[in-house]
Each structure stands twice: as structure tokens, then as C-alpha cells.
Structure 1
Amino acid sequence: MKIRRSLKALKDRPGSAVVRRHGKVLVINKQNPRWKARQA
């Protein structure tokens, strides 16, 4: 699956991680939860 540019931009924020759950690609960030994103 291709990763969207918007998710790649969020991946570079401090404290964020790219995770695959249930076939979806998520960007989670524990330091700043405002930077969450999902690609279905």
C-alpha cells in the first residue's frame, strides 16, 4: 500500500509512529495527540 504524503509529513513530527492496524495505516503521536491520521 502506498503511504500518502500527508502521513509522511506527520511521520517526521517528534514522537510519532506509523502503525498498521486492521488493514489501515495510522499515524499516532503520544506527545501531541492532535497529529493523528488514518489512511484506509
Structure 2
Amino acid sequence: MKVRNSLKRLKMVPGSQVVHRRGRVFVINKLNPRAKARQG
């Protein structure tokens, strides 16, 4: 999982979901698990 300043590009990847957990913003992707990231 990458820690990134901006998730704007990752949320455009097909299959991405933006999820809010524990006060942080995550991108999860079941189609392409390499596109997992956390905003930080």
C-alpha cells in the first residue's frame, strides 16, 4: 500500500473505491490490488 498526498489519479483507475476508515481516506481496488493507497 502506498501513502500518497493526493488520491485523485488513483480513484480514476477502473474498479477503485474510495473508503473512509479511522479518520483516513483509502483507495481499495479488487480488480487491481496494486492500486491500494492511503492518503497521508
Q: Within 2, Cα distance between the matches of 1:30 and 1:8?
A: 18
Q: Percent identity?
A: 64
Long gaps (5+) in structure 1: none
* Structure 1 residues 5-16: aligned runs within 5 Å: 7-16=7-16
1:39 Cα shift? 1.3
Work out the number of aligned pairs and report it.
Answer: 36
* Structure 1 residues 1-40: aligned runs within 5 Å: 4=6, 7-40=7-40
1:20 Cα shift? 0.2
Higher RCO (Cα < 8 Å, 6 or more apart): 2
**TM-score, scaled to structure 2:** 0.79
Flag the structure with higher strand content: 2
**TM-score, scaled to structure 1:** 0.79
RMSD: 1.4
Letter in 2 for 1:35: A
